[in-house]
Structure 1
């Protein structure tokens, strides 16, 4: 679960959006197109968002302190949540305001540079397409057989889902802008430009809300995926000495994308001595860590006499996908 793929996708998106934002602003200044202005602000917001993701990744690597004994891994979730707020306010709401303003005072594209937005939008679609392709390629390393919606909902690392949704929204937004600008040029009616701008605004608001919901869930605290839970449970129970009879119950909580808190009560036999139980617990810890090498486990294991009660929670008994 390395962050390398997420960082690569962030940098690719940052470079693409910075260049696109500059060209879009130039096109807006030459033509006065509201769709181009909305897309310019959208690209600026996306560039700022990628900067926030990089900052969150850097700050999350700080060492644990007495005040934060489990470290700062969740800072990546905090900054990803801020990204959703920026996308909603700076991107979505601004575009809707600009659409309302243009609808109230429609006008065609101004000056002799009417062709510039078309060229800029086509170039931007190509650049965003390359950025989106990078995000898809890096996501496929960890997505496995999951569908894209399920991957976005279940991913514990926030960077790739955020970049995927941002790049997807950027591509659709460019198509909406091309639609609005193209019909404005064909008909001379500036209201088409307003329609394209409004479509961009609603799209960004929808993506921002989706991101906010997912990041809120991660901030509150999510358990490990069922496949990880089953691997850890199987590892804890695979004691060849039979000192550990079973996992009575277990709870997991992500402290960060690659850090997992595991608290479990292990059933032990009645006749084990204290040193035998201690050795069995230490061995169980080693097996659990070996079962999920991509995760850093913070383990709290409690031995107890196995009386055959305290069945696993329903979500722990479910089959892994």
Structure 2
């Protein structure tokens, strides 16, 4: 997904959450509602998170340097992980603690109509932000199953905002129910219960986002279709008699590192091998523009197997399994 689309989604969420956070805080201080205070904390955290994501996008767009030869794209994944930590550490924990305090010492909500008004308006604003994020995500999804798209997505900004907004809408509904129930049944303790439930919703959201972002941060491969497509192009290139190994890794949503170990026809001259590599790189980039860096190693199948055997004997990283199958359909261990 284009960076401009991600920024549009973040700006929409930032505008909505900033206004909502201030309004909720004022209502919480006026009415004394624990659920409303939890919602104010939630919106304030979301506002800060969107600023952090914008910082991550800006830092990730910086060009490569001698100290970061592959660019700074991974920083986006780091800042997404920070967002998940903040949702849990600030939003979830404070909401749960505040709710438990209110359960232990319940207090009647003053002027509950203020909460109803603010929460209803918040649902409208949050719903608009959620809709913007959902449309952007659906364009990326292109008809694929929802959760499998989230798992395979390499752009964490859109699904982070989408899940934040989904959690926010769920929290608003819980807050409305908590305020209404505490007033209807005359049980102020239910307001504290709602605050705890909001905190649990935030904790679950944070856990999911942390799991997804850490996978990207620690070096996630391209999707299976891309990996298989690159391998097929390499095998089909004239002058290549075998694909020993193929590796990919995302350095950002739209940048992939490709590393190939190829067995070339022994009859080729050095110049012909160079021309073959140039053609291969051109074909891969034409089919997969996100393949920003492509490295090709010329290595015979026998040499590759010998290195692989030596690594396996040493118990090193060769015990891992390659991303793409070899010419006979078996998995090739990493050399």
Give me the TM-score of the superposition, normalised by structure 2: 0.89
Encode CA deviations 1:128-182: one digit per residue, 9 max, x unaligned: 1111111110011211233222122221111011111101100000011011001
Task: Report the secondary structure of 1:189's partner residue.
Answer: coil
Partners of 1:114 and 1:47 in 2: CA distance: 25
Which residue of 119, 137, 146 corresponds with 2:144? 146
- Is 1:165 the equivalent of 2:160? no
Contact 1:235 1:291 in 2 (8 A): no
Deviation at 1:188, TM superposition (A): 2.1
Partners of 2:119 and 2:100 in 1: CA distance: 22
Partners of 2:245 and 2:291 in 1: CA distance: 20
* Corresponding residue for residue 296 of structure 2: 301
Which residue of 190, 193, 196 corresponds with 2:194? 196
Partners of 2:299 and 2:183 in 1: CA distance: 76
Partners of 2:45 and 2:299 in 1: CA distance: 54
Contact 2:227 2:323 in 1 (8 A): no
Deviation at 1:316, TM superposition (A): 2.2
* Corresponding residue for residue 129 of structure 2: 131
- Is 1:267 the equivalent of 2:263? yes
* Corresponding residue for residue 68 of structure 2: 68
Task: Report the secondary structure of 1:316's partner residue.
Answer: strand
* Corresponding residue for residue 174 of structure 1: 172
Partners of 1:173 and 1:114 in 2: CA distance: 17
**Higher relative contact order at CA 8 Å, sep ≥6: structure 1 or structure 2?**
1
* Corresponding residue for residue 246 of structure 1: 242
Partners of 1:89 and 1:273 in 2: CA distance: 60
Give me the TM-score of the superposition, normalised by structure 1: 0.93
- Is 1:316 the equivalent of 2:324? yes
Task: Report the secondary structure of 1:221's partner residue.
Answer: coil
Q: After superposition, where does 1:26-37 map in structure 2 within 5 Å?
A: 26-37=26-37
Partners of 1:161 and 1:202 in 2: CA distance: 19
Alignment gaps of 5+ in structure 1: none
Contact 1:254 1:261 in 2 (8 A): yes
Deviation at 1:83, TM superposition (A): 0.3
Partners of 1:20 and 1:211 in 2: CA distance: 23
Contact 1:5 1:139 in 2 (8 A): no
Partners of 2:271 and 2:300 in 1: CA distance: 15
* Corresponding residue for residue 20 of structure 2: 20
- Is 1:93 the equivalent of 2:93? yes
Contact 1:158 1:215 in 2 (8 A): yes
* Corresponding residue for residue 81 of structure 1: 81
Deviation at 1:71, TM superposition (A): 1.0
Partners of 2:273 and 2:8 in 1: CA distance: 46
Contact 1:269 1:305 in 2 (8 A): no
Deviation at 1:306, TM superposition (A): 4.9
Alignment gaps of 5+ in structure 2: 309-319, 330-335
Deviation at 1:313, TM superposition (A): 4.8
* Alignment RMSD: 1.8
Partners of 2:304 and 2:91 in 1: CA distance: 54
Equivalenced residues, count: 313
* Corresponding residue for residue 117 of structure 1: 115
* Corresponding residue for residue 317 of structure 2: none
Deviation at 1:8, TM superposition (A): 1.1
Partners of 1:2 and 1:307 in 2: CA distance: 43
* Corresponding residue for residue 43 of structure 2: 43
Contact 2:16 2:125 in 1 (8 A): yes
Task: Report the secondary structure of 2:106's partner residue.
Answer: coil
Partners of 1:144 and 1:246 in 2: CA distance: 34
